[in-house]
Amino acid sequence: GGGGSANLGAAVQADWENRQFTGALALNVRKLFEFVLQFESTTRNKIAILNDKLTALERKLEFLEAQHSSVTAP
């Protein structure tokens, strides 16, 4: 009878370790997913800001080109 309880104890221990591993893995996957979402949000915001700055620079350049062409026009 003692061997059976030892096998059961080992099986319970192995099951517990598997559950701990699975739980830790799930937690790390969740953390990674949250990081990716935050990174995407931050990156999207920074790109939008850069896009606005680029648009403003393009408008300034067009204005300066128009001024230059009107000054140099014969």
Nearest to 1 by CA among 16, 13, 9, 15: 9
The rounded Cα 67 to chain-centroid distance in angstroms is: 44
Read off φ and ψ for residue 10, nearest 5 degrees. -65, -40
Predicted pLDDT at 1: 55
State pLDDT tens for residues 50-70.
999 999 999 999 999 999 999
34 has pLDDT over 70: yes
Predicted pLDDT at 3: 72
The rounded Cα 66 to chain-centroid distance in angstroms is: 42
User: In sequence order, what are the residues at sequence separation of 6 or more whose Cβ sits closer than 8 angstroms to the Cβ of residue 31?
Assistant: none
